[in-house]
Structure 1
Amino acid sequence: MTRILGKKQISQLTFFEYITGIVLGDLAGFMSTDINAFFIHGFVAILVWFTVPLTLELLTLKSKWMRDWFEGKGTIFIQEGKILEDNLKKERYTADELLEQLRAKNVFRVADVEFAVLEASGDLSVLLKKENQPVTPAQLGITTVREREPQTVIIDGNLMDEPLATAGLSREWLFTELEKIGVTLENVFIGQVDSFGQLTVDLFDDKLQVPAPAQKPLLLATLKKCEADLALYSLAVDNRGAKRMYERCSEQTNRILKQIEPLLKT
């Protein structure tokens, strides 16, 4: 029944969900230990406390007014860098409790906060001022690629065929990569493949050191060598057409290197 009620029963509880969870647990405990009580009465009570929250949850999905009534609304604590003391009093929050919540978000100066709101779940959401926000690759003009979900291809020394196929790889590739780093399949506790096809492993034998993945550094070094070779060929040939072709290819490779070098160094 609690599984049907949803994952919110064990995560972000509203007041109503909190009370529902307590009552359901108390009724289940009462039915399990009180041998003199009628089992059917307890079952009916649990059924009622299951049906009512489920019905209300379905209704709140369709009505914002009911959501605000049963789940509550967020309360703004800091707006445009200014603490709203009246809202703190309304939620019976002290300055110490506000500072504690900010520290939990790795914020140690109130002056760094642009906006903060206490959500209905009791969590504090914080927006830093623009100058205090972390720099993103987009702001630096760095091109990024879409990350794919890492695939766990080995668990407890057992090969997982489905994740391996999802990554577009074969068993032969996996055994070759394991051979490169000098480990056996049976000694691998967890093995994962990332977006770039790099295999990382955690071994049962913690004393054994595993070399770091080398696919990206190797690709970067290979591209740099290609660019250097093309530049060398352009200097070595006497034919003007071939010289211009090698120079053009070298310039194109150099432009590509500038674009992908930040990705291959991460």
Structure 2
Amino acid sequence: MKGRLTARDATLRYGDRVVSADLDLDVPDGAFTAIVGANACGKSTLLRSFARLLAPSSGHIAFDGRDVRDYRPKTIAREMAFLPQGLVAPENMVVRQLVARGRYPHQTLLSTWSADDERAVTAAMTAAGVTDLAERRMENLSGGQRQRVWIAMVLAQETPYLLLDEPTTFLDITHQYQLLALLARLRDDGRTIIAVLHDVNQACRFADHIVAMRDGRVVAAGAPADIVDAALIKEVFDLSCVITPDPVTGTPMIVPTGEYAG
């Protein structure tokens, strides 16, 4: 399945440590792609390379057939919004100010704050459920509240592509499902979503394309119903399980067996 965002023979490394070698992947347009795998398997590294934060030491990461590094930062930022892990807000910044930073790619030296900017920020805060926090300082929020504000900032960027690294981190279970349902709605509206997720059952329920990784390589990629089975989960996570239909959606649901059965 081809798309505008691709990896071709890409080797990704940090110094002398190779994370992924000869990586090939097509991200389907207009889909919700979930990248899953065990800790330190290369999920976040792959996402960082898509976002231009890590250049391949060989091969290419391309957007519309052009190396992502060849784009000006603001140009690519109008196409792709990236939410990494571990963000820290400037001291004394209030929520609305931080969300407004998502409009930076749409600003020029001569532009002023516009009605479109105000609409985008208001809509993003509403979608992320942080409108009531607008005048609160970031340092006074809980971890889950801060995460929702960062999500609002990315939504305010209004890009056709959203790249999210573990976006459900710090969120309680209700806000996890609210966020994933929001991402699915954005997909239905034509956006392309790429998210690193830890919960494979959530990935199967909300995403329509799964990329399963182990040791820096893509083990399988495709629709959940086509690729997620007990053999894949064993290979990717070293977890024995059975796969049963989700009682609500019918999508694959992992049920651990053996020593993890309870």
**Interval of TM-score (by shorter of Structure 1 and Structure 2):** under 0.3
Query: Which structure shows the higher helix fraction?
Result: 1
Q: Comparing both chains, which one has the higher relative contact order based on Cα–Cα distances under 8 Å and sequence gaps of 6 or more?
A: 2
- Give me the TM-score of the superposition, normalised by structure 1: 0.20
Query: Which structure shows the higher strand fraction?
Result: 2
- Give me the TM-score of the superposition, normalised by structure 2: 0.20
